[in-house]
């Protein structure tokens, strides 16, 4: 319904300026799922399922060791950020996307999903379309239930004792919480490569986070237990359509969508943008959406239930901070001065709490929050940091 209307409006506006729109521009990768994308791009991918102890069934993908490789250099697990999915590590395409680059370098590559996103809408007993209880979760459950199930599964299948974790944004947050709450997992992570890492958001300028901050006051469960920003929903459908209509829409989409996350010098190129919008957003729960508002307001603390319940549960009016002294695994962070979500000031605060972490701040000061996933300079700026660290224990910040 909404598609034809939007396209018509769009075409009317542009034709009024005498601009010819090619409605059938070729965007074959836009609507492909993980397996289909990998296949289209000339890679092999396997579908796996992980079931958490509370019954969530999560889609997990593997790009098995590249045929060109005789031995595996190790296991890399990619985890996506808020509203996103495993597909992020394929979207920019061969030679440019995280998972393809690691596969080319002879790593056994896995890409996971957390509960509630496009590949995480499945459960042994609950129906995400009918049961509101399905949506009663936030980063704490992703950290303490999804991640252990995923990590255990990947280590078992790859017959390894340790993996390298590549996490964007919220993916860093949840591994921090896991290693704080279940410190035995520190031993399973060789290194965490945190790109655009988030924990404190005191200095985040991203407008959605500001909004979440305002909205995050205590809400009834009837509101919290719902789905938001799902793939194929009212935000993603029109965005992906408008933004793949024509090259003319590119500056507008690029501007509106990504200026919000940090203006970039079109790191996300014209061919990649429609593919991004075909795969993002990918959905989460309202409770998780608002949880990020709490973090913006309160700092990196446990769930805020409101004063009375906090007193009962935590024995204090405000929730306690996560104990990051227990996160002993090594972290390698990459940040940018133009990231409107993960501000370098906030990353530095996080690092003061972590026993073993270091940070590369990119010298390219235009790099934005999503450029760490979709930018054309990933193979120049981002992946070499990790690959060099894994090969030699050293790296040079770009």
Ligand X SMILES: *[C@@H]1O[C@H](CO)[C@@H](O)[C@H](O)[C@H]1NC(C)=O
Q: Rule CB under 6 A: is residue 363 a binding residue for ligand X? A: no
Q: Is 126 in the site for ligand X (CB under 6 A)?
A: no
Q: How far is CA 222 from the centre of its chain?
A: 26
What are 362's two structure tokens? 């990119």
Binders of ligand X: how many residues, by CB under 6 A? 15
> Can residue 340 be called a binding residue for ligand X (CB under 6 A)?
yes
The piece of 8-16, 23-31, 106-114, 338-346 that touches ligand X (CB under 6 A) is 338-346
- Among 6, 11, 35, 57, contact with ligand X (rule: CB under 6 A): 57
| Residue number with CB closer to ligand X (100 or 153) | 153
Give least dist CB 137 to ligand X, A. Answer: 17
122 contributes a contact to ligand X by CB under 6 A: yes
Give whichever of 193 and 340 is closer to ligand X, judged by the CB atom.
340
* Catalytic residue list: 169, 339, 369
| Residue of 338, 350, 367, 385 that binds ligand X (CB under 6 A) | 338
- 219 belongs to the binding site for ligand X (CB under 6 A): no
| Residues of this chain, 342-361, that bind ligand X according to CB under 6 A | 343, 345, 355-356
Verify binding: residue 203, ligand X, rule CB under 6 A: yes
Toward ligand X, which CB reaches closer, 262 or 293?
262
- Using CB under 6 A, which of the segments 21-29, 88-96, 213-221, 334-342 binds ligand X? 334-342
Nearest residue (CB) to ligand X, 6 versus 126:
126
> Edge to edge, what strands does the sheet with 108-112 contain?
46-51, 57-63, 108-112, 75-79, 163-168, 189-195, 331-335, 357-361
Which region, judged by CB under 6 A, interacts with ligand X, from 62-70, 128-136, 278-286, 335-343? 335-343
Q: Find the part of the chain contacting ligand X (CB under 6 A) among 150-158, 251-259, 339-347, 369-377.
A: 339-347
Q: Which of residues 139-198 bind ligand X (CB under 6 A)?
A: 159
Report the interface residues with ligand X, using CB under 6 A.
49, 57, 122, 159, 203, 205, 262, 330, 338-340, 343, 345, 355-356
């Amino acid at each position: 319904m909404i598609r034809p209307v939007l396209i018509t409006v769009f075409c009317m506006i542009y034709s009024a300026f005498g601009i010819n729109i090619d409605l059938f521009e070729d965007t074959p990768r836009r609507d492909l799922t993980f397996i289909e994308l990998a296949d289209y791009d000339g890679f092999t991918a396997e579908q796996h399922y992980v079931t958490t102890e509370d019954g969530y069934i999560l889609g997990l993908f593997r790009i098995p060791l590249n045929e060109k490789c005789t031995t595996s250099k190790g296991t890399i697990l990619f985890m996506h950020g808020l509203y996103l999915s495993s597909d992020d590590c394929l979207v920019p395409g061969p030679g440019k996307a995280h998972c393809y680059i690691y596969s080319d370098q002879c790593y056994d590559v896995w890409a996971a999903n957390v509960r509630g996103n496009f590949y995480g809408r499945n459960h042994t007993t609950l129906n995400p379309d009918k049961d509101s209880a399905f949506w009663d979760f936030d980063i704490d459950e992703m950290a303490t239930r999804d991640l252990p199930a995923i990590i255990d599964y990947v280590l078992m299948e790859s017959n390894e004792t340790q993996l390298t974790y590549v996490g964007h944004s919220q993916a860093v947050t949840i591994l921090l919480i896991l290693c704080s709450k279940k410190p035995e997992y520190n031993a399973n992570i060789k290194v965490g490569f945190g790109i655009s890492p988030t924990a404190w958001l005191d200095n985040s300028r991203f407008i959605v986070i500001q909004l979440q901050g305002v909205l995050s006051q205590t809400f009834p469960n009837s509101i919290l237990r719902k789905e938001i920003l799902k793939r194929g929903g009212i935000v993603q459908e029109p965005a992906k359509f408008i933004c793949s209509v024509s090259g003319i829409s590119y500056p507008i989409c690029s501007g509106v969508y990504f200026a919000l996350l940090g203006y970039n010098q079109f790191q996300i190129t014209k061919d990649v943008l429609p593919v991004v919008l075909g795969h993002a957003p990918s959905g989460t729960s309202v409770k998780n959406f608002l949880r990020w508002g709490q973090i913006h307001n309160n700092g990196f603390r446990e769930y805020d239930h409101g004063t009375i319940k906090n007193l009962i549960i935590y024995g204090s009016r405000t929730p306690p901070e996560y104990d990051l002294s227990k996160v002993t695994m090594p972290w390698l962070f990459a940040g940018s001065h133009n990231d409107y979500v993960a501000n370098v000031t906030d990353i530095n605060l996080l690092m003061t709490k972590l026993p073993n972490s270091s940070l590369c701040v990119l010298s390219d000061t235009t790099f934005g929050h999503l450029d760490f996933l979709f930018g054309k300079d990933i193979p120049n700026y981002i992946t070499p940091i990790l690959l060099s660290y894994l090969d030699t224990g050293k790296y040079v910040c770009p």
